[in-house]
């Protein structure tokens, strides 16, 4: 079972999908194999209530896809979903280890950011610098958190050509649902864990009710 959080609520769907329609297959195949500007890539920037197309490029490679991960507004569309997971794999290890299922909520988050940018007239791919990370790759990554969401397939580091990381950060922050957002000089980190944000290595303190009580008591005692 896979949870798909779409605009129409939370829906549980079976992994086994009905036979794909030929038209859908041709569309996904074409979208996944044609690099650069394609009809599907253009469609990625057009808000749709049912079909959700994500346009991604992998930094430092020629890999580029614009594929739907949802075509009915309710369930995961696996040809597109799998292509996204492949693009976001850990490229430093064997495919058997680096190609994992990326959290569908994270993919939804990336799509929402792309839609937010499209509403501002930015119709370009999200360029992924890091997706899933195996434990060994994470250990070798400078300044990476030991328990990084990248290791769970719940995070992406990215930038977009032509816009500042500050503008990309703002687009991420404009999302209504939760998620962690990290702001760096060269990229923005977006994950599907709890809502929080940080700048570079400077973590923003989390409000701790227990600590607040202690402070309150000390004020009373004073």
Residues that bind Zn ion (CB under 5 A): 157, 189
Residues 57, 6: Cα–Cα separation, whole Å: 23
Between 34 and 144, name the residue whose CB sits nearer to Zn ion.
144
At its nearest, how many Å lie between Zn ion and the CB of residue 15? 28
Residues 14, 139: Cα–Cα separation, whole Å: 35
Residues 39, 25: Cα–Cα separation, whole Å: 15
Determine the residue with CB nearest Zn ion. Answer: 189
Between 71 and 156, name the residue whose CB sits nearer to Zn ion.
156
Cβ pair 58, 86 in contact under 8 A: no
Between 42 and 139, name the residue whose CB sits nearer to Zn ion.
139
Cβ pair 30, 38 in contact under 8 A: yes
At its nearest, how many Å lie between Zn ion and the CB of residue 161? 19
Residues 182, 209: Cα–Cα separation, whole Å: 24
Between 26 and 139, name the residue whose CB sits nearer to Zn ion.
139
At its nearest, how many Å lie between Zn ion and the CB of residue 184? 8
At its nearest, how many Å lie between Zn ion and the CB of residue 157? 4
């Amino acid at each position: 079972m896979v949870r798909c959080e779409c605009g129409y609520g939370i829906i549980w769907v079976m992994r086994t999908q009905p036979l794909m329609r030929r038209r859908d297959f041709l569309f996904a195949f074409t979208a996944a194999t044609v690099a650069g500007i394609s009809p599907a890539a253009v469609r990625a920037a057009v808000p749709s209530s049912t079909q959700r197309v994500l346009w991604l490029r992998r930094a430092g490679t020629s890999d580029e896809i614009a594929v739907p991960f949802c075509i009915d507004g309710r369930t995961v569309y696996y040809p597109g979903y799998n292509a996204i997971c492949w693009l976001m794999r850990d490229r430093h290890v064997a495919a058997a280890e680096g190609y994992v299922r990326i959290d569908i909520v994270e993919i939804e988050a990336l799509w929402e950011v792309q839609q937010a940018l499209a509403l501002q007239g930015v119709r370009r791919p999200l360029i992924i610098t890091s997706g899933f990370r195996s434990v060994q790759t994470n250990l070798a990554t400078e300044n990476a958190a030991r328990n990084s969401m990248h290791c769970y397939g719940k995070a992406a580091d990215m930038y977009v050509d032509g816009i500042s990381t500050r503008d990309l950060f703002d687009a991420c922050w404009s999302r209504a649902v939760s998620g962690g957002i990290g702001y760096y000089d060269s990229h923005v980190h977006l994950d599907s864990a709890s809502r929080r944000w940080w700048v570079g290595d400077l973590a923003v303190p989390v409000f701790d009710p227990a600590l607040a009580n202690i402070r309150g008591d000390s004020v009373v005692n004073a």
